[in-house]
Amino acid sequence: MTIDLEIREAERGDLPAIIALFANDRLGGHGDTAEPEAFGDYLAAFEEISRSPHQTLYVAHLGGEVVGTFQIALLTSLPGRGSSSLMIEAVQTREDMRGRGIGEHMVRHAIAEARARGAAKVQLTSNAVRVDAHRFYERLGFERSHLGFKMRVK
């Protein structure tokens, strides 16, 4: 069903559609909004990601519309003999397009990027309330491995 799906790096013009994906996410709890006064915050983050050689923001494009997004970041650390991990962040498929394989295409694209960039592993976190997403990631071969913690500092 997603034969014409294109996954490409996000462009500045995609930003309103990407913001809408996050603003419409009822489970995320990130406080995202499509209100015009918030656009500058999103634009600053987009530009920061775009400048980074270790991060890439992608969109899934279908039928002339952005129907999904995700971000990757490559992290090299000393454990694992200096290996790199590719982090997948902010995976989001437009609600009316779920169940069509778009999320799977996006995650498989990220995994291919990990291989191309020489990463030893791919990892991601998922909000504890997203049980459907957990089954989705496990179906794609991800294993539950760590317990995550976070602290808001701002």
Q: Alpha-carbon torsion 1, 128, 28, 148, what sign?
A: negative
d(CA 76, CA 81): 10
Residue type, 22: F
Rounded CA separation 154/151 (Å): 9
67-123: pLDDT as tens digits = 999 999 999 999 989 999 999 999 999 999 998 999 999 999 999 999 999 999 999
Q: Which amino acid is at 102?
A: I
Residue extents of the structural domains in the chain: 6-139
The superfamily (CATH) of domain 6-139 is: Gcn5-related N-acetyltransferase (GNAT) (3.40.630.30)
Tell me how far apart the 2 most distant CA atoms of the chain are, in Å: 46
pLDDT score, position 55: 97
3-state secondary structure of 17: helix
Report the phi/psi class of residue 78: left, alpha or beta, with left for phi > 0 and alpha for psi in -120 to 50: alpha
The pTM score is 0.91
How far, rounded to the nearest angstrom, does the alpha carbon of residue 11 sit from its chain's CA centroid? Answer: 15
> Which of 86, 82, 78, 61 is closest to 11 using CA atoms?
61
pLDDT of residue 147: 84
Burial 99-112 (b: 16+ CB within 10 A, else e): ebebbebbbebbbe
Return the pLDDT at 154. 82
Is residue 23 within 8 Å of 34, Cβ to Cβ?
Answer: yes
> Residue 50's pLDDT is what?
97
What would the mean pLDDT of 131-147 be, rounded to a whole number? 91
Can you give the pLDDT at residue 3? 67
Residue-wise pLDDT for 16-42, tens only, equals: 999 999 999 877 667 889 999 999 999
The predicted structure's pLDDT at residue 73? 97
